[in-house]
Chains A and B, each alone.
Chain A
Amino acid sequence: NAGVTQTPKFQVLKTGQSMTLQCAQDMNHEYMSWYRQDPGMGLRLIHYSVGAGITDQGEVPNGYNVSRSTTEDFPLRLLSAAPSQTSVYFCASSRQGSNYGYTFGSGTRLTVV
């Protein structure tokens, strides 16, 4: 199993550009989440999903959209990139229920100039 696959690994955007960060998991996990990690801020939840067709906002959702059309995929869209969105983005998935740990992807390092 590949686990959680994120693409791309690195990306540079200009302010105002849009892009989609891809996330796919092959473990048939119900839960999927997107986090951003900034120095000194830990991991902050952007959006999460508890199943196909169900998404909800986390702590820092502004400027991001998500959708979950299949169990496997959970893309994160940046609508109009801003320098404040420069960060490392992690996608994670878990089996249903609060008794399971999350499996993280290897991350996407995004720079907005």
Chain B
Amino acid sequence: GQQVMQIPQYQHVQEGEDFTTYCNSSTTLSNIQWYKQRPGGHPVFLIQLVKSGEVKKQKRLTFQFGEAKKNSSLHITATQTTDVGTYFCALYSGAGSYQLTFGKGTKLSVIP
């Protein structure tokens, strides 16, 4: 099945700084999903990207899908302490697959 590399593994930022996490694949993706998991919590679905070059925004969060559909990014502007958690990208393993495979995640810490 398809695999995805997520970087960085950890990120510490001062409150107010920006944050970006990246997911990279060696193969073309049909779509990609993003999830957030707060400490001690469960993953929560944020968004899905489907189209080449797609950009979607949710308040301070900006999601992008690469033109070649091999990479994606999540950017948070002016981080807040409420942004703390682990951000995962996820994708379906191959055409017609029902298996949702997750990246290893980026753990974000925000220093007040």
Report A's interface with B, CB cutoff 8 A. 31, 33, 35, 40-45, 48, 50, 56, 58-59, 90, 92, 94, 98-107
Segment touching A, from B59-67, B72-80, B102-110: B102-110
Contact B104 A41 (CB under 8 A): yes
A-B pairs under 8 A by CB, number = 54
Query: What is the distance, in angstroms, from A110's C-beta to the closest C-beta of chain B?
Result: 15
Interface size of B by Cβ–Cβ distance < 8 Å?
A: 23
Residue in B31, B42, B88 whose CB lies within 8 Å of A99: B31
Query: What is the distance, in angstroms, from B26's C-beta to the closest C-beta of chain A?
Result: 18
For B41, give the chain A residue with the smallest CB separation: A106
Contact B48 A101 (CB under 8 A): yes
Residue in B44, B47, B50, B98 whose CB lies within 8 Å of A48: B98
Contact A98 B30 (CB under 8 A): yes
Residues of A close to B105: CB separation below 8 A:
42
The 10 closest A-B pairs by CB, nearest first: A101-B45, A42-B104, A43-B102, A104-B42, A98-B92, A104-B43, A42-B102, A50-B98, A106-B42, A42-B105
Contact B88 A42 (CB under 8 A): yes
Contact B103 A42 (CB under 8 A): yes
Contact A45 B103 (CB under 8 A): no
Between-chain CB contacts (< 8 Å), 25 pairs: A31-B98, A33-B100, A35-B102, A42-B102, A42-B103, A43-B88, A43-B102, A45-B99, A45-B100, A45-B101, A50-B98, A56-B98, A59-B101, A90-B42, A92-B43, A98-B98, A100-B48, A101-B33, A101-B46, A101-B48, A102-B100, A104-B42, A104-B43, A106-B42, A107-B42
Q: In the complex, A101 Cα to B101 Cα: how many Å?
A: 12
Known: A40-B104, A41-B104, A42-B88. A48 touches B99 (CB 8 A): yes
Q: Apart from A41-B104, A104-B42, A106-B41, what 15 extra A-B contacts exist at CB < 8 Å? A: A42-B88, A43-B102, A45-B101, A90-B42, A90-B43, A92-B43, A98-B30, A98-B92, A100-B48, A101-B33, A101-B48, A102-B100, A103-B45, A104-B44, A105-B42
Residues of B close to A103: CB separation below 8 A:
45
Residues of A close to B41: CB separation below 8 A:
106
